[in-house]
Amino acid sequence: MADSIEALQKSKKTYLAVFGALLVGTVLTVVVASPPEFLYWLDVGEHGFDKWDAIIGLLIASTKATLVAVIFMHLNHEKKAIYWIFGAGLIFVTWMALLLALAYRDPIHDYLFYK
Amino acid sequence: MEIPYIVTPRKDTGLINSKIAIWLFLASEVMLFGGFFSAYVYLRMGADYPWPERTLPVLPGLINTFVLIGSSVTVVFAWVALKMREWRKFQIYMGITVACAALFMVLKGVEYNVKLHHQAVRLDDYSVIEGHLGYELKEGADKHHPNPDDYEKNHNGHKIEENMIRVKSEKLTFSVNRFYKSWVEEILSEAKHQNVTYILEEDVEAFTKPASSKSEKRQPKILAKKGTELSVELLQSLKKEYLKARAHNGVIRTEALRSEWVIAKKENPGKRGWEVATGVNIDMDAIGHELLTEVASATFVAEGGAELLFKPRNIQEGETSSRLRDDTVITGKLEESPMVFHNVDAIDFQWLVMKAEEKGISPESAIENSWLMKSNKFVRDAWAWHLKRNESRQKELNDRYGFEEGKNGKETDIPKRVLTHKELYRMGWKDFAKMGEETKNVSVGGVDAFKEEFLGPNYKARGEETFPHLSIPREEIRHAAKFSPAWNTYYAIYFTITGLHGLHVIGGALVLAYYLLFGRKMYLENPEWLTNRVEVGGLFWHFVDLIWIFAFPILYLM
């Protein structure tokens, strides 16, 4: 943990930089999602919303979230115990989502089943 | 009690205890929100209706994102200020943080309010109409600029939303056990307002005491006399008698059945219960004289009947007989009860087209044959305008992106990019506004235009030329709701995620505000302790920001 005055002063600058990055990221998500006329080339994939919009949007969001977690929440210099705790949470949430995906693939959802 | 390791770290973990605790909590929060986000994914994948893509106004969500990111920075600055023992700066930064939280909640409240007053209706043919319902006006009142006393009022003196089921109620049959007190009061009050009294149709008679023997003749007691006025107290006293009789009879019936079983077992030794069960019956003749009468309902009549109004969700209406949710049966003629939009701000044929395509009908003919197109001239004109506009929008796409190449390297007439379903089959309020500007020269500017981005269409400024009046007969309606969780699964998950997030904002802000207002004493005693507390509170606050970073694009932009 940054404890000296100089280190704290320095980290303040980092925080401001992250703040700027987050603002830019936010504007970027909106612009990419519905590009104004003069930026029409930002509309990747098909016209309108498609998987590319989802991927790009989530990528930007993940980047922003990582910035917040790493810099604001000090995950860049944290003790081991914290990584274990938070890592376990992330693993469980991923596992849960995968379980749902498995349920979604359940053969009972076969449309022929209802015919 | 001394709490250990809140200022000096524990040797084994190298951390203060509160930090471990908050991270454990955050890990559980990740799983909580993770659950809802995956619920969103699967609701969207499994939706059997056109998912409302990019349907919310972006501006409020965008501003709220800025507000929350800003507060995330100030909370970390507040922590740095404490670390450097600058109390004044801490106060300022923390103050801004809490103010940001309040602003966030206010904006959220405005957003919710707009949704919960915005009506949507799905017709029988799956076309969807959105807009604002109005209140009933007195005859001859100015429809466009009504005064406060131009409105029709009900018995409470409240305005009447034009979305009520009207029944000329000649006869009311209450379930004495299930009647809902405040609805009865409502009915009574409205009837009184119309100078109508409901009276008991017939004497309510019941045996209230068991006879001592089979031969004894019992006299029924009159619980309520014919002609007694309807009142909650009367229904309550009938309910009391009903419950008493039911309890009494229950005991006797159980006893009788039990002794029948004893006999049956004796007569059929070695047989299983299910083999003899059909032969085991209560001898009603034998116990009949001991039973009391269970009077389950009471019927009241009124000459001519009062015209009663019910919210659609509380009534299952029928031509001559309707039923309320509390099992009250209303006999009387159903009057015309249309749902009246004073301003329509969207027509949506996406679902209708989806249903038509499933059946192999072309979208054009399905729309052509929809109730809306057949019955409303404004809709026909608007749709003609919309089709023309779509043509030019498609042409723009063609000019920009060109056409697909065929096998021989020549251009085909299949465009590389086509309009979305939403653009093709939905006219939102912005399309209505554009049409009004182009064809009727109605426009708004400046502050009003900005307000529209926030609160949705400005009916007053644009008027009925842009957002027309529309009355929908009740029988055309398949489903109607405000933009609430009842409308569709998108709004259900939207309110769940944002509502839960809002609760976290409130909780976090309360904790941070506590440090701000009551932290001075701790700061003077042990500043490092307060610093650590603020860091932990800050961690939670960053997490709340983190959730919003995902919620905003997912709910507003996708």
More confident residue, B63 or A3: B63
Q: Does A10 touch chain B (CB under 8 A)?
A: no
**Same domain assignment for residues B252 and B381:** no
**Same domain assignment for residues B259 and B368:** no
**Same domain assignment for residues B402 and B364:** yes
**Same domain assignment for residues B259 and B372:** no
**Residue B192 contacts residue B199 (beta carbons within 8 Å):** no
B395 within some domain: yes
Report the CATH number that the domain containing residue B56 is assigned in CATH: 1.20.120.80
Tell me: the pLDDT tens digits for B460-511? Answer: 888 888 899 999 999 999 999 999 999 999 999 999 999 999 999 999 999 9
Q: Tell me the chain B residues in contact with residue A23 when contact means C-beta distances shorter than 8 Å.
A: 66, 69
Which residue of chain B comes nearest to A21, CA vs CA? B69
Q: What is the pLDDT of residue A3?
A: 67
Q: What is the pLDDT of residue A115?
A: 56
Q: What is the pLDDT of residue B493?
A: 97
Q: Is A41 exposed, middle or buried (0-12, 13-18, 19+ CB in 10 A)?
A: exposed
Mean model confidence pLDDT for chain B: 92
**Which of B18, B31, B539 should be substituted to probe chain A, the one whose Cβ sees the most A Cβ atoms within 10 Å?**
B31
**Same domain assignment for residues B278 and B362:** no
pLDDT-wise least confident of B34-38, B410-414, B418-422, B499-503: B410-414
pTM for the complete prediction? 0.87
> Which of A64, A88, A100 faces B42 most closely, judged by CB atoms?
A100
Cβ-Cβ contacts under 8 Å for B202 (sequence gap 6 or more): B226, B299
**Same domain assignment for residues B31 and B178:** no
Q: Does B232 touch chain A (CB under 8 A)?
A: no
B137 within some domain: no
Mean pLDDT of B345-366: 95
**Same domain assignment for residues B263 and B382:** no
B514 within some domain: yes
Per cent of chain A over pLDDT 70 is 88
Whether B1 has a pLDDT exceeding 80, the answer reads no
Distances (CA, A) of B394 to B212, B389, B390, B423, B436: 90, 9, 6, 10, 21
**Same domain assignment for residues B248 and B289:** yes
Please state the ipTM of this predicted complex. 0.90
pLDDT-wise least confident of B152-156, B190-194, B334-338, B388-392: B152-156
Q: What is the pLDDT of residue A107?
A: 58
Tell me: the pLDDT tens digits for B180-214? Answer: 999 999 999 999 999 999 999 999 999 999 998 88
- The domain boundary, picked from B433, B465, B482, lies at B482
- A54 backbone φψ class: left, alpha, beta (φ>0; ψ -120 to 50): alpha
Q: Does A6 touch chain B (CB under 8 A)?
A: no
B144 within some domain: no
B521 within some domain: yes
- The domain boundary, picked from B284, B314, B336, lies at B336
**Look-up of token digits 């979208």:** B363
Q: What is the pLDDT of residue A109?
A: 57
More confident residue, B402 or B482: B482
The interface residues of chain B toward chain A in range 53-72, judged by CB-CB distance below 8 A, are: 53-54, 58, 62, 65-66, 69-70, 72
> Which of A19, A47, A92 faces B31 most closely, judged by CB atoms?
A92
> Which of A8, A46, A68 faces B417 most closely, judged by CB atoms?
A46
More confident residue, B446 or B376: B376
**Same domain assignment for residues B96 and B113:** yes
pLDDT confidence of A1, banded at 50, 70, 90?
very low
Whether B248 has a pLDDT exceeding 70, the answer reads yes
Whether A105 has a pLDDT exceeding 80, the answer reads no
B385 within some domain: yes
Whether A91 has a pLDDT exceeding 60, the answer reads yes
Distances (CA, A) of B441 to A103, B322, B437, B470, B529: 54, 47, 4, 22, 65
Q: Does B528 touch chain A (CB under 8 A)?
A: no
Mean pLDDT of B310-336: 94
Whether B304 has a pLDDT exceeding 90, the answer reads no
**Same domain assignment for residues B330 and B378:** no
**Look-up of token digits 């989502």:** A97
**Same domain assignment for residues B448 and B308:** no
- The domain boundary, picked from B321, B336, B351, lies at B336
Tell me: the pLDDT tens digits for B128-165? Answer: 999 999 888 888 777 777 788 888 888 888 888 889 99
Q: Which domain holds residue B520?
A: 17-117+485-557
CB contact under 8 A, B20 and A5: no
Measure A98 CA to nearest chain B CA, in Å: 9
**Same domain assignment for residues B103 and B250:** no
Tell me: the pLDDT tens digits for B506-542? Answer: 999 999 999 999 999 999 999 999 999 999 999 999 9
Count of domains observed in chain B: 3
B147 within some domain: no
pLDDT-wise least confident of A29-33, A56-60, B232-236, B509-513: A29-33
**Measured distance CA(B371)–CA(B368) in Å, rounded:** 9
